[in-house]
Amino acid sequence: MVVGVLQFELHIPGAESLKDKRRVVKSLRDRLHREHLVSVAEVGALDTLNLAIMGIAVAGSDGARIGRVLDSIDAKLRGMTDAELGSTRREIIHGQTGESPADEGLDEDAIAQEMLARVSGEAAS
């Protein structure tokens, strides 16, 4: 599993009220979610009039695709007209491959034998 995370500041110079700010944030959040199938949230500076700190997360199995999605979002953010992109922070997290931590310590042979015994017992009934 690969998880891509993008955190960024959004400067909204035209906001004269929190309602103006929320309109810009909601529009961006909905558009990014719809177009890129990512999770988007305002994660900081909630009561600051001209600043929104946003976070995006996307998960998948292909790190290259995750990187392309984040690149595409970054380009879209730089082209915004009703807000300016401030600082950004991007991280790609690679999870474990193979067995999940929940599977550690399981005796697969014992589980297979138990399953066969149950199936055999049901067939005999």
How are beta strands 51-60 and 2-11 bridged, if at all?
antiparallel
Per-residue pLDDT of the chain (125 residues; tens, 9 = 90+): 888 898 999 999 988 888 988 999 999 999 999 998 898 999 888 788 899 999 999 988 888 888 889 999 999 999 888 889 988 898 888 877 655 555 555 677 777 777 777 776 655 55
Q: What is the CATH number of the domain that holds 77?
A: 3.30.70.1120
Domain-located, residue 108: no
Say if 101 falls within a structural domain. Answer: no
Query: DSSP labels for 61-94?
Result: S-HHHHHHHHHHHHHHHHT-SSSEEEEEEEEEEE
Tell me whether residue 89 is in a domain. Answer: yes
Residue 12 lies in a domain: yes
Find out whether 18 and 47 touch, Cβ atoms under 8 Å: yes
Name every residue whose Cβ is closer than 8 Å to that of residue 84 and which is 6 or more positions away in sequence: 10, 11, 12, 13
In a domain, 14, yes or no: yes
Residue where the block lists tokens 């500076």 = 45
Q: Could you give the C-alpha distances from 82 to 8, 55, 78, 99, 122, in angstroms and in order?
A: 16, 18, 11, 46, 66
The number of folded domains in the chain is 1
pLDDT value at residue 122: 56
Assess if residue 105 is contained within a domain: no
Residue 117 placed within a domain: no
Sign of torsion over alpha carbons 63, 69, 70, 72 = positive
0.85 cut: is pTM over it? no
Q: Could you tell me if residue 46 is inside a domain? A: yes
Per the structure, the complete domain to which residue 65 belongs is given by 2-96
